[in-house]
């Protein structure tokens, strides 16, 4: 049984500030220790359920937050940038399940610690078929293409509430309750890891989703940016259109979830040019 794990950082127990999760930050070394602890708990839980191969994709910021020699399960590590499929780089149809570890809520969610949707300085809101979505649902486009179920999501309570709206819903483990965007009540890391271990095991056994996520033909993504300039820049790409009467919003879509995700990543990269 082969498990694909995409790690973010904001959703780890004890994390409430960018200073803990960006290279050079005062508390970065503590932050990465907390992330590693939760990741290894998930791998250990999966091992207990019979998994025997792991690929970990470090998906946060510079994407080199994990010490390769300290990963359990002799996991292969995908790190560094640039990665064409970004938070989902390295997934293919040979995997049996996907875990999202340390994920966070969408930019506009309430009491969501360090919330954002890919780029907090560009994207105000992302919607798929009219519903506001976070990173888990956007990344689900890639899972749908390869036909791999999303089995486990960990993060704060807001993240779990968002992620479990996916169909079929993944098993969720909440490790903290957001007080505000920059404050939280976190489980002790030992308890967070215990719950993630148990959650990972369940996610591959009794609670395993029956199928990969799927998206109807003609799926439509809308992105609202912080400025109109960003939306206008996105509309340079064929197939991406400005939404009438909404100068900060573009729409794109189609029948192929991977092509939709690739367009999304292109817009994320493109609009970086306009971030102040």
Q: So which residues are the catalytic ones?
A: 116
Residue 264: name the closest of 118, 76, 160 by CA: 118
Contacts of 146 (CB under 8 A, 6+ apart): 91, 92, 93, 95, 212
CB of 232 to Zn ion, least distance (A): 25
CA dist list (Å): 94 to 47, 147, 163: 18, 9, 23
CB of 104 to Zn ion, least distance (A): 6
Q: b/e map of 67-89 (b: 16 or more CB within 10 Å)?
A: eeeebbbebebbbeeebebbbbb
Stretch that binds Zn ion, among 1-9, 26-34, 179-187, 260-268 (CB under 5 A): 1-9
* # binding residues, Zn ion (CB under 5 A): 1
CB of 6 to Zn ion, least distance (A): 10
3-class SS shares of the chain: helix, strand, coil, % to 5: 35, 25, 40
108 to 147: interface string for Zn ion, x by CB under 5 A: ----------------------------------------
Is 162 a binding residue for Zn ion by CB under 5 A? The answer is no
Residue 192: name the closest of 148, 160, 224, 231 by CA: 160
Q: Residue 184 belongs to what H/E stretch?
A: strand 183-186
Is 222 a binding residue for Zn ion by CB under 5 A? The answer is no
Helix pair 135-146, 257-271: axis angle to 10 deg: 140
Q: Residue 147 belongs to what H/E stretch?
A: none
Is 156 a binding residue for Zn ion by CB under 5 A? The answer is no
Is 58 a binding residue for Zn ion by CB under 5 A? The answer is no
Identity of the residue, 8 or 204, whose beta carbon is nearer to Zn ion in the bound complex: 8
Q: Assess whether the previous peptide bond of 165 is cis (omega < 30° from 0).
A: no
Identity of the residue, 116 or 193, whose beta carbon is nearer to Zn ion in the bound complex: 116
Tell me which residue has its CB nearest to Zn ion: 8
Is 8 a binding residue for Zn ion by CB under 5 A? The answer is yes
Identity of the residue, 61 or 164, whose beta carbon is nearer to Zn ion in the bound complex: 61
Is 38 a binding residue for Zn ion by CB under 5 A? The answer is no
Torsion of CA 58, 59, 65, 71, to 10 degrees: -20
CB of 103 to Zn ion, least distance (A): 7
Identity of the residue, 123 or 204, whose beta carbon is nearer to Zn ion in the bound complex: 123
Stretch that binds Zn ion, among 7-15, 47-55, 88-96, 248-256 (CB under 5 A): 7-15
Q: Which residues here bind Zn ion, judged by CB under 5 A? A: 8
């Amino acid at each position: 049984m082969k498990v694909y794990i995409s790690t973010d950082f904001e959703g780890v127990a004890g994390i409430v500030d960018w200073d803990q999760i960006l290279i050079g930050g005062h508390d970065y070394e503590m932050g990465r220790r907390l992330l590693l602890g939760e990741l290894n708990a998930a791998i250990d839980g999966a091992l207990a359920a019979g998994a025997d191969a792991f690929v970990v994709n470090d998906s946060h910021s510079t994407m080199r937050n994990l010490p390769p020699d300290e990963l359990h399960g002799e996991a292969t590590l995908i790190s560094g940038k640039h990665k064409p499929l970004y938070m989902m780089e390295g997934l293919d149809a040979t995997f049996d399940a996907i875990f999202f570890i340390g994920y966070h809520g969408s930019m506009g969610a309430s009491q969501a610690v360090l919330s954002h949707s890919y780029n907090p300085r560009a994207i105000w809101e992302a919607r798929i078929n009219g519903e506001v979505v976070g990173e888990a649902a956007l990344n689900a486009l890639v899972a749908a293409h390869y036909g791999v179920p999303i089995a486990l999501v960990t993060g704060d309570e807001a993240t779990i509430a968002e992620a479990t709206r996916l169909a079929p819903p993944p098993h969720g483990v909440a490790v903290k309750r957001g007080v505000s965007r920059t404050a939280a009540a976190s489980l002790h890391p030992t308890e967070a890891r215990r719950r993630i271990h148990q959650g990972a095991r369940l996610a591959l056994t009794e609670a395993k989703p029956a199928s990969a996520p799927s998206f109807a033909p003609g799926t439509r993504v809308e992105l609202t940016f912080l400025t109109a300039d960003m939306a206008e820049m996105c509309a340079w790409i064929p197939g991406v259109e400005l939404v009438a009467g909404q100068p900060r919003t573009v729409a794109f879509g189609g029948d192929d979830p991977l092509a939709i995700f690739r367009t999304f990543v292109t817009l994320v990269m493109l609009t970086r040019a306009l971030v102040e």
